[in-house]
Chains A and B, each alone.
Chain A
Amino acid sequence: MSQLQYFLSLVTGGVCAAALALSLVTPFETGLLLKTFLALGVLSLIRFILPLGLWIDGILALLGAAAVLISIGVFTPTPPYFWMALVAAWLFGWLFVERLSKTLAPRLSDNGGLGLLIPVVFGLSILVIWEVATRAGNVPQVILPPPSMIWARITASVPTLFADFQQTFLKAVLIGYVLGCGLGFVVAILIDRSPFLKSGLLPLGNFVSALPIVGVAPIMVMWFGFDWPSKAAVVIIMTFFPMLVNTVAGLNASSAIERDLMRTYAAGYWQTLMKLRLPAAGPFIFNALKINSTLALIGAIVAEFFGTPIVGMGFRISTEVGRMNVDMVWAEIAVAAVAGSVFYGVIVLIERAVTFWHPSVRGA
């Protein structure tokens, strides 16, 4: 048992014992599940005599979370031992993850689904704490609605959310992303060929990237109309420069010896580009693709604040927040977060397949 685990175990047991003692003054039949969890929590102190499997901590964390969730609303007002039980459940979750990661550490790369369990436990604890804190603490919904309410809103408005997703993500983000990254890539290759373009276009790209998005978006609406093309244009402006700069840097990433080698074969410009410089630029290009995947989504959503047809994620957020429908705003945020993460994840997977040879990938 490491020092941290020792300390955590002690604190967890102590919190459980204190909460149990406080709960004994209430009538026996109220919050029975909560009391059972606290009693088991105190019993877990037996680990100092008898080793307990890490799964016991996992089960206790789960039981604690369930007990606390079910007991919301049983008491008015919420007694202190309820909050202490929440803390105890969270501590059990922490202890579980701590022990799990120590067990997995030497073989973190090939443990099947177990490695995934750690972020899942982490995410679940945040959701449980959020849910309990907002509901049992009577937090106004305008400030922060509980996750269950956001989820209810998502399931109730699937058609609206999908229409917004289609408008903002499938049209503005994806099209703008492909065009912006493609343009950045092509211009980078042109710049690389010509010193004239390098001194002319690179500062211009720098200038464009410095334009504030809130200033550019209304102008794009004037130019390209209310529908998605104006949003795609904003996305192009946002994604172009990171791609340009990274590709230019990547094209110079091959070493002098590697380029001399090509020269000894009397290889032409395009042969050197295809067989050496582009593969060597791969890690840089994928960096830009990853940065741009999140930039594109932000750009498209913000651009919709400045004039749009009555559909789109940015449109929905700006109107629903005005109508105090905060749960709908959160539902859109959740959709954007999931879409953005999946987008990023897909690019990371492609990156791993393409630049498998790079030390940063093959070491992982």
Chain B
Amino acid sequence: MGPNAVVSAQNLGLTFKTNDGDVVALSDVSLTIDKGEFVSFIGPSGCGKTTFLRTIADLEQPTSGTLRINGQTPENARRERAYGYVFQAPALYPWRTIEKNVALPLEIMGYSGSQQAERIKRTMDLVNLSGFEKKYPWQLSGGMQQRASIARALAFDADLLLMDEPFGALDEIVRDHLNSELLKLWAATQKTICFVTHSIPEAVYLSTKIVVMSPRPGRVTDVIESDLPRERPLDIRETPEFLAIAVRVRDGLRAGHSYEEHV
């Protein structure tokens, strides 16, 4: 574990007890995520990628192994508001305007009124939602709602951003647009981002590191360091370097499946 490690997992395991017996969601996951990295978790459903993210966020408790966030237990990291979490659904509160939704974590964490106003303005600019402060969530499109939920996760300036398939429910065009926006945002804020997805192009386009996972039990089958430049226009997706990484991700996913077929 280096001094720059934001997330450090060793032999992490998580077993859910259900009425139908035990379900192994994570098995023997060891992984280190350094400061400033953009890490994607990719795999078929049931591979534990969301569970791993939720474990980092202290929304699930591991049943074996150790997990440290900034050198602390997940619970202490959560209490110190070490991360912002973006869920699959925007989960904006419909009785609050967009700016009041962004202000929600700030209110809970006890920021003063002037600090709140300043941070709302900055994050709304960052996600290109200026001018929609007074709208209610149900008056905005799905893409705008998800941008607002990203603004809400950024508002209190945690260094770690956990994103659980944030663009999964959006169409391809909106998704491409938000992906390039997200890269700019990452460059501007220097945050560490953990990003769950099941789209290979999305994972390769965004990440500095791609973690390939496979199901039953959920485990890491490959960790791919991407050597693509940090500056990435959308048409980088047609370059041979990009395609080579995509092929390796696809092979990793296929290996996970063949394992399943033989057992």
Contacts and interface: CB of A to CB of B under 8 A. Distances in A.
Interface of A: 255, 257-258, 260-267, 271, 275-276, 279, 282, 355-359, 362
A279 B93 contact: yes
A282 B95 CA distance: 10
A352 to B, nearest CB: 13
Contact of A266 (B81, B84, B93, B104): B81
Contact of B78 (A257, A263, A282, A356): A263
Interface stretch (B28-36, B105-113, B177-185, B238-246): B105-113
Given A257-B89, A355-B95, A357-B95, 18 more contacts: A255-B91, A260-B87, A261-B85, A261-B87, A264-B78, A264-B83, A265-B81, A265-B105, A265-B108, A266-B78, A266-B80, A275-B93, A275-B107, A279-B93, A279-B95, A282-B95, A358-B94, A362-B138
A357 B78 contact: no
A263 B59 contact: yes
B91 A261 contact: yes
A357 B91 contact: no
A127 B99 CA distance: 52
Instruction: Bin chain B's interface residue count.
Output: 20 to 34
Given A275-B104, A357-B138, A264 B94 contact: no
A267 B108 contact: yes
Nearest to B136: A357
Most buried by A among B81, B84, B91: B91
Contacts of A258: 91, 93
Contacts of B84: 264
Contacts of B85: 260-261, 264
A275 B96 CA distance: 10
B168 to A, nearest CB: 13
Contacts of A355: 95
Majority SS at the chain A contact face: helix
Most buried by B among A264, A282, A357: A264
B98 interface: no
Contacts of B83: 264
A255 B79 CA distance: 22
Given A266-B79, A362-B138, A357 B94 contact: yes
Nearest to A355: B95
A276 B85 CA distance: 17
Contacts of A282: 95
Given A357-B95, A358-B94, A260 B59 contact: yes
A257 B89 CA distance: 8
A275 B108 contact: yes
Contacts of A362: 138
21 contacts: A255-B91, A260-B59, A261-B91, A262-B108, A263-B78, A264-B78, A265-B81, A265-B104, A265-B105, A265-B108, A266-B78, A267-B108, A271-B108, A275-B93, A275-B104, A282-B95, A356-B95, A357-B94, A357-B95, A357-B138, A359-B138
Nearest to B95: A357
A93 to B, nearest CB: 40
Interface string B235-256: 0000000000000000000000
Contacts of B81: 265-266
Contacts of A357: 94-95, 136, 138
Given A267-B108, A275-B104, A275-B108, A257 B91 contact: yes
B67 interface: no
Nearest to A272: B108
A276 B96 CA distance: 10
Contacts of B58: 263
